[in-house]
Chains A and B, each alone.
Chain A
Amino acid sequence: MNLIVIFISAALINNFILSQFLGICPFVGVSKKIDSAFSMGIAVTFVMVISAMVTWLIYHLILVPFNLQILEYVAFILVIASLVQLVEMFIRKVSKPLYDALGIFLPLITTNCAILGLALNAVLNEYNFSETLIYSVGAGLGFTMALVIMAGIREELELAPVPRSFQGAAITMIVAGSLALAFMGFAGLI
């Protein structure tokens, strides 16, 4: 039961983009086309799940026993950076089509604050291993959903008469604001 609550809360109520503001850069940058938004979302989810598990293990098996919590940030960001590199090599070896589809998005994930934010949040909330796993899957799917919805709206927006000063980033923010307003409706879910 607890796991279901964590999943729904991570995916909808505390949606990473629309209510916690994590991962805004790809949200603004890669949300022009539905296909690329979807690929980006899946790639982020993938890295999120793996890095959440690895950083959980490192924090609880290495940093805590040796009383080195002060190195938390340096250790996490190094793990994430090398993990992204590893995942990239692994995908290229195992599935060439998937690698081509993800393309440039994979290396960019290192600087996505959603990944580091998730690892830090899992430590902050004192989740155990299975809770961290469910939390990362939920957050990743919520991220993908927000990205795909936004891309759908932006594809329509290209045909709309937007005031000149609002063209580009400004109207994207306004649309994101209305989406965030809609997502606030999920607050009563649990």
Chain B
Amino acid sequence: MRNRTVIQEFIKGLWEENPVLVSLLGLCPVLAVTVSAENGMAMGLAATFVLISSSFLVSMFRKVIPGQVRIASYIVIIATFVTIADRFLAAFTPDISKSLGPFIPLIIVNCIILGRQEAFASKNNIGRSLLDALGMGVGFTLTLLVLSSIREILGSGTWFGMEIMWPSFSPWQVMILPPGAFLALGCMIAGANWINRRRKS
């Protein structure tokens, strides 16, 4: 861990240790909000903001927070930033905030964020923690973007609200319903496994 270069610290979150496809963390929002690319993007950015800010604080206070109450302290820090993100979205993008519904507050219990505090930010200096948080956040956002694009294009024939499929295309309704989320994510995980196997051999 110590001898990773600065770049590697950032890159690892994108593919090698991708929080969704490899570690299978934070699946609830991944499945629930990826109905449209816009929602997926907003969720990814909100989670990235919370992840970076709380990693910064946790890393700054890592020598002050006593071991026994560390989880509770992390949760309070995370919950504070989630409240900020929630109010921000409600004020500037009310439509997105409404369609994401309870999944913005549920970022608090997203295992990616708590997991990074426990596994990384509480043991490393501020610079490295920020890079790690940024990498994980970007990896999470990109995964959400790909999954929500697949679902929106197949399920409603649009991408970010623009019509992109040919006129006679009939949308696959199931992709924007709950079963479509499970099926699409299952295929994406399998695809990631396949690519990793090909790269190894």
Contact = CB atoms under 8 A, between A and B. Distances in A.
B75 A81 contact: yes
Interface stretch (B40-48, B53-61, B105-113, B161-169): B105-113
Contacts of B114: 111
A170 B28 contact: no
A168 B197 CA distance: 14
Interface residues of B, number: 43
Nearest to A178: B179
B109 A166 contact: no
Contact of A24 (B27, B80, B190): B27
Contact of A176 (B109, B174, B182, B197): B182
B105 A181 contact: no
A21 B109 CA distance: 13
A77 B74 CA distance: 11
Nearest to B32: A21
A81 B76 CA distance: 11
Interface in B147-182: 174, 177-182
B82 interface: yes
Contacts of A170: 186-187, 189-190, 193
A74 B190 contact: no
A121 B103 CA distance: 10
Interface centre among A77, A124, A178 (most CB of B within 10 A): A77
A169 B24 contact: yes
Contacts, number: 119
B127 interface: no
Contact of B105 (A18, A73, A164, A178): A73
User: What is the predominant secondary structure among interface residues of chain A facing chain B?
Assistant: helix
A48 to B, nearest CB: 14
A170 B21 CA distance: 10
A24 B102 contact: no
19 contacts: A21-B31, A25-B25, A25-B28, A74-B83, A78-B72, A78-B75, A81-B75, A111-B114, A165-B197, A166-B193, A169-B24, A170-B186, A170-B190, A170-B193, A172-B186, A174-B186, A174-B187, A177-B180, A177-B183
Given A111-B114, A164-B197, 12 more contacts: A21-B178, A22-B28, A72-B105, A81-B71, A81-B72, A110-B109, A170-B190, A178-B179, A180-B178, A180-B179, A180-B182, A181-B179
Interface of B: 24-25, 27-29, 31-32, 71-72, 75-76, 79-80, 82-83, 86-87, 101-102, 105-106, 108-111, 114, 174, 177-183, 185-187, 189-191, 193-194, 197
